Structure 1
Amino acid sequence: MTNPSPTLARRLWEAVEPIHAVAYFAAEPAAAAKAIGLPSWWMGYFTGRVAPLGALGPAAATAVVFGFAPGMVARFLPAAWTFTTPETALDARIDSVGATLRRTLPPSTDLDRLAELLDRAVRGCGFAGRPLAAAWSAVRPPEDALSRIWLAATVLREHRGDGHVLAAVHAGLAGIDATLTHVATGAVTRELLQINRGWTDEDWEQSRRGLVARGLLDRTNRLTKTGGALRRQIEEDTDRLAAGPVAALGESGVHEVIQLATPLSRHLVDSGVVPVPNPIGAPRP
């Protein structure tokens, strides 16, 4: 599959995504989840991600996180809310990622400027049909620059992610179908993604057969010409649906964000805080 062209929307995402991704890979968020009483890492993941939406049950949470198996989500929600509240989970997530960034990133005099630019990008987001992004956009910004940067990166990430879900659903793909076709691009392995998203071998095989019947996968589980075109269309639609922040920043603003955020993101990857490759697709920009 030919990689999508590096649009400004995609380059903006690449520059800031590793900053958001510390929430999933650094030690501090995992420790914070344990400290508020959550008995498993995955409870920390789901509560920390959907907390701004309230105490979601499994059906609603599965819909917004999309690529996860419903049974996996149901193992952790709503049970997690018997150990903590959305407000506590949200505070723990923001405090812990701020601690991670302060620990891992070198000093910089450009943080306030980057936070200002990312806040401007967030103001360019449209939130219709984007529940996760809308909820995160309503979170009160923290006072320190690094935590503000993380929160803005999170809104932008969920805005793009919600748009990606819209594009995949419009293309007729369920969560597992999107997962299989993503694996078929060669960008990530089945071994990395299947267990991480909770799909059984039976789930995988049923989706594979359906995709073959639709002419999207061949018998060797590679994308057909039609499947490759569909994946490219989804990525192009994702970029198009992420154009609001780009318009708010303007081309020069996007380039300034890339210039300021890329060294931070590269440091997080190169120092091992955010592994690449990873299940969420965070790149080394």
Structure 2
Amino acid sequence: MQQSSSAQRLRQAVEPLHAVVYFAPEPAAAARALGLPSWWMGYFAGRVAPLGPLGPAPVAAMFHVFAPAMVARSLPDAWAYASPEAVLETRTEAVRATLARTLPAGSGRSLARLAELLETAVAGCGFEGRPLAAGWSRVPRPADPAMRVWLAATVLREHRGDGHVLAAVHAGLTGLDTTLTHVATGDVPLEAVQDNRGWTEAEWEESRHRLTERGLLDGEGRLTGAGGALRRRLEEDTDRLAASPLAALGAEGTEEAIRLAVPLSRHLIDSGVLPVPNPMGAPRP
């Protein structure tokens, strides 16, 4: 239980530092300037750029919670506008500009130390069955401490996310099933995800029916006792699969990383860069 608690606290402390790429205006503007015609095309292309010019099927499988038809509206068409290398370079430069604008003044020393700690955590990651994290782990390390923090936070986020997909599949949940049970926990509002995951209303109803038949949701779409137990197991399994970075850091290193990351993440949230609640379910740490 202590390991699970530490994994959750580290995720909550660090994830906002990664998530600026989705909510700040600079990455979206940079993708448009590169020629990508929609925000979602920039999202899908940018997130998989280190893996090369992938098509929709592997990306939908890795992302899990997006409807395959939605992914197919962006990939592989994105690569006709820009190469993965150009997308990656543009994305990282936009994040650099974002962090220079949004991080608090005088945070350089904290960022340098946090970068060291998060890179130690990344060095402890295993990448078996984790394609997104593996791809991002091969991106060259930047010189700028803020960008080092962002890249390490990105690898850790995708490492945990890949593990979450593995745990959800093991629990017998489709991507939409995973989303509906997440909504039913109350951690993320329905309106924050229903319109941006690409599933049809018929698919939502089919998932609700399937989960009700399994005894995981009641007639009002709320978690039953069995559904709540499944979600707890899912999070515990995700934490267990994310344990290797914590082991690399050790208890003291983990606590130091949390202590350094929390004020930076809170600043990003409190200054309006990252909204809470959000579709990621990332809370204010």
Q: TM-score range by the shorter chain?
A: over 0.9
1:6 Cα deviation from its structure 2 partner:
6.2
Give a deviation string over 1:183-242, Cα, whole Å, max 9, x none. Answer: 111111221111111111111000000111111111111111111100000000001110
Counterpart-to-counterpart distance in 1, 2:131 and 2:47: 12
What SS does structure 2 have at the residue aligned with 1:48? helix
- Greater displacement, 107-116 / 265-274: 107-116
Specify the alignment match of 1:24 in structure 2.
Answer: 22
Specify the alignment match of 1:192 in structure 2.
Answer: 192
**Contact 2:4–2:240 (CA<8 Å) still a contact in 1?**
no
1:142 Cα deviation from its structure 2 partner:
1.0
In structure 1, give the amino acid aligned to 2:145: A
1:159 aligns with 2:159: yes
Counterpart-to-counterpart distance in 2, 1:283 and 1:150: 18
Which of 37, 41, 44 is the matching residue for 1:43? 41
**Contact 2:52–2:84 (CA<8 Å) still a contact in 1?**
yes
Counterpart-to-counterpart distance in 2, 1:21 and 1:196: 16
Specify the alignment match of 1:267 in structure 2.
Answer: 267
Counterpart-to-counterpart distance in 2, 1:93 and 1:154: 13
In structure 1, give the amino acid aligned to 2:227: G
Correspondences of 1:200-219 after superposition (within 5 Å): 200-219=200-219
**Contact 1:17–1:283 (CA<8 Å) still a contact in 2?**
no
**Contact 2:35–2:81 (CA<8 Å) still a contact in 1?**
yes
Specify the alignment match of 1:110 in structure 2.
Answer: 110
Which of 3, 10, 14 is the matching residue for 1:12? 10
Percent identity, aligned pairs only, is 68
Number of residue-to-residue matches in the alignment:
282
Specify the alignment match of 2:283 in structure 1.
Answer: 283
Correspondences of 1:160-175 after superposition (within 5 Å): 160-175=160-175
Correspondences of 1:102-141 after superposition (within 5 Å): 102-106=100-104, 107-108=106-107, 109-141=109-141
Structure 2: gaps (5+ residues): none
In structure 2, give the amino acid aligned to 1:12: L
In structure 2, give the amino acid aligned to 1:210: R
Specify the alignment match of 1:244 in structure 2.
Answer: 244
**Contact 1:55–1:78 (CA<8 Å) still a contact in 2?**
yes
Specify the alignment match of 2:52 in structure 1.
Answer: 54
Counterpart-to-counterpart distance in 2, 1:234 and 1:63: 18
Specify the alignment match of 1:145 in structure 2.
Answer: 145
In structure 1, give the amino acid aligned to 2:101: R
In structure 1, give the amino acid aligned to 2:238: T
Specify the alignment match of 1:233 in structure 2.
Answer: 233
Counterpart-to-counterpart distance in 2, 1:282 and 1:170: 23
Counterpart-to-counterpart distance in 2, 1:39 and 1:46: 12
Specify the alignment match of 2:63 in structure 1.
Answer: 65
- TM-score scaled by structure 1? 0.97
Counterpart-to-counterpart distance in 1, 2:100 and 2:10: 22
In structure 2, give the amino acid aligned to 1:69: A
Specify the alignment match of 1:180 in structure 2.
Answer: 180
Counterpart-to-counterpart distance in 2, 1:98 and 1:281: 24
1:35 Cα deviation from its structure 2 partner:
1.3
What SS does structure 1 have at the residue aligned with 2:195? helix
Counterpart-to-counterpart distance in 1, 2:279 and 2:13: 18
In structure 1, give the amino acid aligned to 2:154: T
RMSD across aligned C-alpha pairs, in angstroms? 1.1
Give a deviation string over 1:101-135, Cα, whole Å, max 9, x none. Answer: 11011121221111111100000101000000000
In structure 1, give the amino acid aligned to 2:239: D
Structure 1: gaps (5+ residues): none
**Contact 1:194–1:200 (CA<8 Å) still a contact in 2?**
no
